[in-house]
Chains A and B, each alone.
Chain A
Amino acid sequence: MNIETNHHIESPKEKQNRHKAMEAIKLLNTLREDFKAPIESMEYFYDLFERVHCKHESLHDDKTKIGTMCIQIPSEIIYALDGIPIRLCNGFYTDDEIGSDFMPQKACPLIKATVGHFASGNFSDKPDIVFSPTTCDQKTKAGSTIESFGYKFIDVDFPRTKESEASREYWRRSVKQFALELSKFQGKKLTKNNLKDTIKKIGYAQSLYNKLSDFRKNEIVPILGLDVFLITNAFFFDKIDNWIEATQKLINELEIRAKEKISVTGKSSPRIIYTGSPPIFPNYKIPQIIEESDGIIVADETCSSNRMFNDMVAVDEWNIYDMMDSISDKYLKACTCPIFTKNEDRIRRVVQLVKEYKADGVIYQAFAGCTVYEMEQRSVLEAMEKEGIPILYLESDYSPSQGGQLSTRVEAFIESLKTRRRNKK
């Protein structure tokens, strides 16, 4: 054996891949093995993430990939124009560290990780063009940094108030502009039938998600919140038809589980609504702590999950401009992103979720550095207090340390919810 020829110095790219694969597989193994009554059909999703993040397989080799920076870029339009939407919000600590060189020290880890990912240029599916709605300050400003790395990066004007009629019109115009730019980029015309088909396609995915959520309303919860986050995160980049098929299969399995009363929780696990900064694979730190501490996440109010799927598009007549307007309104008016000036909608939504999913408490996570979620904490906590809903506010980041302190707080909160429930009885 010749040792010298086998000697190999790891390139930065290889190192990044190795670290990311480690992050990914650690979580996937936990999901596969550490919880009771695993769901067979989840294997598709575990495998998908393993393929993409550990083996760095490309899913959309032959297609134009349209990067999006937030949920407000309508996938309906991207699909109608023959593109594949890839949501680039990133959850890797490895990328967060790379991004730290380009962002202020106290910036949001999600944005640092996203910028880091772009800086490395190391994508399994590299976006051909990126559209970024001007949502929060950090994402908006990160755009020019990302552009400086040599990406085709286009801002899509997004208003910060949503009550006024002006903002509705403004956003409708922005979406039209976006469709025009993309249409030019793709050299393809947006037609009535294409758009209608993709509204139906996305609608089908939404409908599946809602069906999936219905199972979580049951007293016996047949699926972990962690698994649902994984499913919804897969929608960021998966082939939509595969996603639909896999989710359909999963729902069939859940139906059987619901009949057989198979539970993934303990007997008295408190039901949690999760809200705040989005858990994005593999940063499932807080959800993992919750579900390892005998809590069960029954629903969430985050942009990486519920907010992507909940609201479906309706039109009166299937004209292209009416479809566009209805799509636009959904992405603005129903959005509960904390960047908006006022955000009573978000509070109403959380309260409604607590009622609908019969939750015992709410856990609100904000990334340290995500100013808007940090700021909104006050009003949400106040509102929950008024409603008599217990809530825990946590700040976290992507670092693998810090776990001990967080789990102590979460465990204490969950214990208190259990006591509360006992006392109620």
Chain B
Amino acid sequence: MKNKIRNFINNGDLRKVRFWIQLASFVLFVYGGYLAINFGSSFPVFTCPYNEDVSATCYLISLQHQLALPTKILFSPAFIPIFIGLLTFLAWFIVLNKAWCGYMCPFGTLQDWITALRKKIGIRFGIYTRDQFEKLSKIKYVFLVIVLLFPLLMGAGVISNNWSATFCQMCPARVISPMFTGDFSQWTIDFSSKTNMVLTALGVSFASLFFVGSFIKKRFFCFFCPMSALHYIFANTSIARFKKDGSKCTRCGDCYAVCDMQIKDIADDVVSTNILRDDCILCLKCVAACPEDDALHFDILNIKVFSSTREGFEKRMNVGLNMKNDGEIDK
């Protein structure tokens, strides 16, 4: 019985499963407000409250507001709610680890839909060279520093209130998320001060770039996402793990070929057992594309939930003895 369930999952069509999970979570998080659902304000994905109908609030906005409290208050018992905020964030996070990005984040899902559109039109996706990749991949940490540092400076009185929620002012999700409910009002530049003007101008440009970028590059924004960086810092606290058994890997590179984030280690690193990298969105496409039994697996509480198998590979790639038909469905 146990084996039957395991085979069923390992042979499953990940693409379909992912599509439906992403669609469901998109609806739930973006429109859940209509049904008075509320998951609180420490959510580990870009559920942006500038769209008033979201059912949860992105932790980054809460975190920025909390850290912006006057320094004196910050180091008083008022610290406790902030701490609880962090714990709540972690409580959400540890369940799924970075799979929040690959399955739950509405902003990630939106990019996947744009990718699907490009695919339908038949345009090839873009890739970064290794050099570009290495440089760009650091930007998310710069954004994370902005998220953490500017509110603290504001609280300490070093910078003015115009810097409130600095990152949010620049964030493309602030501009784009309200559009889901027909609100285009964020596509404006705030001229109330020089700071606001610069930050909101950046926000609008990032939002435009978001559409262009994610049309060309799969998961374009995720490379730069400070939430992804924050996730990675806590990745080892999660009950969900992404593992590799290097002894079973032949480095054929299939996983690398399908990786939206161009993570090279997934194919080349045969030493690490924990193969989660900072750019990873745990979409598990690599596991689905790995033809070696158990070389890659996604574990929850050390139980293999989804493992690579040759049979599953053949079913999903629609090749070999486990082919579904003559190979026509996977255009």
Contacts and interface: CB of A to CB of B under 8 A. Distances in A.
Contacts of A420: none
B6 interface: no
A268 interface: no
Contacts of A352: 247-248
Contact of A312 (B249, B264, B317): B317
Given A310-B250, A314-B313, A352-B248, A207 B258 contact: no
B330 A313 contact: no
A334 B250 contact: yes
A359 interface: no
A138 interface: no
B119 A330 contact: no
Nearest to B314: A207
B207 interface: no
B256 interface: yes
A208 interface: yes
- Secondary structure type dominating chain A contacts: helix
Contacts of A200: 318-319, 323, 327
A102 interface: no
A137 interface: no
Contact of A325 (B247, B251, B257, B291): B257
Contacts of A315: 257-258
B252 A330 contact: yes
A282 to B, nearest CB: 29
Interface string B259-294: 010001001101000000000000001000101000
Given A165-B130, A329-B256, A333-B252, A312 B291 contact: yes
A312 B320 contact: yes
A317 B331 CA distance: 8
A311 B319 CA distance: 13
Contacts of B304: none
B253 interface: yes
A248 to B, nearest CB: 9
Given A318-B331, A352-B247, A326 B254 contact: yes
B18 to A, nearest CB: 13
Contacts of B246: 348
B125 interface: yes
Interface string B306-331: 00001001100111111100010011
Contact-size category for A: 35 or more
B138 interface: no
Given A199-B319, A311-B291, A314-B289, A329 B252 contact: yes
A349 interface: yes
Interface in A313-359: 313-319, 321-322, 325-326, 329-330, 333-334, 344-345, 348-349, 351-352, 355
B124 A321 contact: yes
A211 B323 CA distance: 14
A210 interface: yes
A207 B322 contact: yes
A344 B124 CA distance: 35
B257 A203 contact: no
Nearest to A334: B252
Contacts of B256: 329
Nearest to B317: A314
Interface in A173-229: 196-197, 199-200, 203-204, 206-208, 210-211
B252 A311 contact: yes
Nearest to A214: B310
Query: Which residue, B252, B291, B314, B318, has most C-beta atoms of chain A within 10 A?
Result: B252
B310 A210 contact: yes
Contacts of B250: 310-311, 334, 345, 349
Nearest to A336: B250
Contacts of A208: 320-321
A17 to B, nearest CB: 38
B15 to A, nearest CB: 10
Interface string B230-261: 00000000000000001111111111111010
A185 B225 CA distance: 48
A317 B124 contact: yes
A341 to B, nearest CB: 15
B324 to A, nearest CB: 12
Contacts of B253: 326, 329-330, 333-334
Contacts of A204: 319-321, 323
Contact of B291 (A163, A314, A326): A314
Contacts of B248: 352
Contact of B247 (A210, A211, A351): A351
Nearest to A197: B327
A163 B264 CA distance: 11
B290 to A, nearest CB: 8
A326 B247 contact: no
B42 to A, nearest CB: 34
A185 B103 CA distance: 47
A48 B270 CA distance: 41
Contacts of B291: 311-312, 314
Contacts of B268: 163, 333
Contacts of A344: 270
A307 to B, nearest CB: 9
21 contacts: A204-B323, A207-B320, A208-B321, A210-B320, A211-B321, A310-B250, A311-B250, A312-B252, A312-B314, A314-B257, A314-B258, A315-B258, A317-B119, A317-B124, A326-B253, A330-B253, A334-B251, A344-B270, A345-B251, A349-B250, A355-B247
Given A203-B314, A207-B322, A317-B125, 13 more contacts: A197-B327, A210-B320, A211-B321, A312-B291, A314-B257, A315-B258, A317-B124, A318-B331, A319-B125, A330-B253, A349-B250, A352-B247, A352-B248
The 8 A-B residue pairs whose C-beta atoms are closest, nearest first, are A207-B320, A329-B253, A314-B254, A203-B319, A311-B252, A334-B252, A316-B258, A314-B289
